Amino acid sequence: MLMIRFQRIGRRNDPAFRIVLLEKERAAKAGNIVEQLGTYNPKSKALTLNEEAVKGWIAKGAKPTDSIHNLLVNKGVITGKKVNVLPRKTPLKPAASEAAGSGEQPAEQAVVAEAQ
């Protein structure tokens, strides 16, 4: 499966990225890229992008990472909602909320009942 990902370039404490197309199993640092689609500098917000190539590869089945997806939505290359790429500050507790909402026994009692 092909992925559209960032490949970090630049010095320490001065990040810059290439936007590349490569196999999902390959590391971006390895250099085994299929095609370079653009560049992005997060400090200056400078973005160069080959929009036709990106649209063509997405039409052929390439999947962008969440960060690339958000960048393409901002640029207007693709349409859709942004994806949250940051982790939740407090994870949800699905067992407690499901048991309270459905009227079943609490999770602790269910574990004890299964053990017996």
Q: Check whether residue 60 and residue 107 sit in a common domain.
A: no
Into how many domains does the chain fold? 2
* 35-94 residue pLDDT tens: 999 999 999 999 999 999 999 999 999 999 999 999 999 989 999 999 998 888 887 777
Looking at the fold, whether 36 and 64 belong to one and the same domain comes out as yes
Instruction: Work out the number of other CB atoms within 10 angstroms of the CB of residue 69.
Output: 20
Cβ neighbours of residue 25 closer than 8 Å, sequence gap 6 or more? none
Condensed to tens digits (0 to 9), the pLDDT of residues 9-30 reads 989 999 999 999 999 888 877 7
Domain carrying residue 111: 90-116
Examine residue 33 and state whether it is found in any structural domain, yes or no. Answer: yes
Residues 16 and 66 in one domain: yes
